[in-house]
Amino acid sequence: MINKVILMGRLTRDPELRYTSTNKPVCSFDVAVASGYGDSQKTDFINCIAWNKAAEFLGKYFNKGMMVIVGGRISTRTWEGKDGKKNYVTEVIANELDFGETKKARDEYNGYSRPKQQNSTPQKAADDFEVLDDLPNDLPF
């Protein structure tokens, strides 16, 4: 059987990195994933959990609003609350995480557009390039 999930979306809140009583890192986070087009577009909010190195990576390098790529599996669990009521949750156990955009794109999305760096070497104007008129007319493709 196959249980594989791949998501790409934005974090709806800062990842919450904690440690278990045995000092195992665990990070919970939510990903907003858009689907559909036009009037039928909707957004799903997916609960996710990462453990160990993936949890520490997420907690260190990601924050609210960032685009994230998540690979993992769907898991369901139940537990009994203090009030005796049975609770049920479906979530993605993330074991692969990656940045979903460049730092430049993330800064532009968040409104932090910065002025472009001046290049230390001058750019050549179009007139500075030599024009080659003797190119072959019979290209092999």
> 141 lies in a domain?
no
End-to-end Cα, the chain, rounded Å: 46
Reported confidence tier of residue 62, pLDDT bands at 50, 70, 90 = very high
Residue 118 located in a structural domain: no
The label of the residue with tokens 């500075």 reads 128
Helices (H), the chain: 52-61, 103-109
- Assessment of whether the complete model's pTM goes beyond 0.75: no
Q: How far apart are CA 25 and CA 9, in angstroms?
A: 23
Q: Is residue 36 part of a domain?
A: yes
Domain assignment of residue 35, yes or no: yes
DSSP 3-state assignment of 40?
helix
**What whole-number distance in Å separates Cα of residue 100 and Cα of residue 31?**
12
Domain count, the chain: 1
Contact 68, 31 (CB under 8 A): yes
Residue 129 belongs to a domain: no
Cα torsion through 81, 85, 86, 90, rounded to 10: -70
Helix (H, G, I), strand (E, B) or coil at 140: coil
Q: Which domain holds residue 65?
A: 5-112
Q: Is residue 123 part of a domain?
A: no
Instruction: Give the CATH number for residue 24.
Output: 2.40.50.140
> Do residues 42 and 26 make contact, with C-beta atoms less than 8 angstroms apart?
no
Name the pLDDT band for 71 (thresholds 50, 70, 90): very high
What local confidence, expressed as pLDDT, does residue 61 receive?
92
Q: Which of 44-48, 98-102, 123-127 has the highest mean pLDDT?
A: 44-48
What percent of the chain is modeled with pLDDT above 90? 65
CA 123, 126, 131, 135 dihedral sign is: positive
